């Protein structure tokens, strides 16, 4: 995510947003042109996380999808 992208829904410091499904998370990220990953946590919840998500922050999280948007198209 570039520094010039700001939104109340995706704050780099928080870097995570919960979703009901992998598809919902993926569609959201692609529509917003956000790079990152869709992960499944130990409790089976789904999170979209930004590229600065630190390895190990969510122990035992499974990466379901890596989303790479076309950054040039956004801003």
- What percent of the chain has a predicted confidence (pLDDT) above 70? 75
Question: Using an 8 Å Cβ cutoff, are 2 and 75 in contact?
Answer: yes
The widest CA-to-CA distance across the chain, in whole angstroms, is: 36
Give the mean pLDDT of 22-31: 94
16 vs 72, residue with greater confidence? 16
Identify the pLDDT of residue 55: 75
Q: Cα–Cα distance between 58 and 5 in angstroms, integer? A: 25
Band of residue 16 on the pLDDT scale cut at 50, 70, 90: confident
Identify the pLDDT of residue 75: 37
Q: What is the pLDDT of residues 60-71, one digit of tens each?
A: 899 999 999 775
């Amino acid at each position: 995510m570039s520094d010039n992208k700001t939104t109340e829904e995706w704050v780099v410091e928080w870097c995570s947003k919960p979703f009901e499904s992998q598809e919902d998370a993926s569609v959201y990220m692609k529509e917003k042109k956000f790079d990152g990953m869709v992960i499944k946590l130990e409790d089976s919840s789904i999170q979209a996380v930004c590229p600065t998500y630190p390895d190990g922050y969510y122990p035992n999280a499974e990466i379901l999808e890596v989303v790479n948007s076309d950054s040039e198209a956004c801003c």
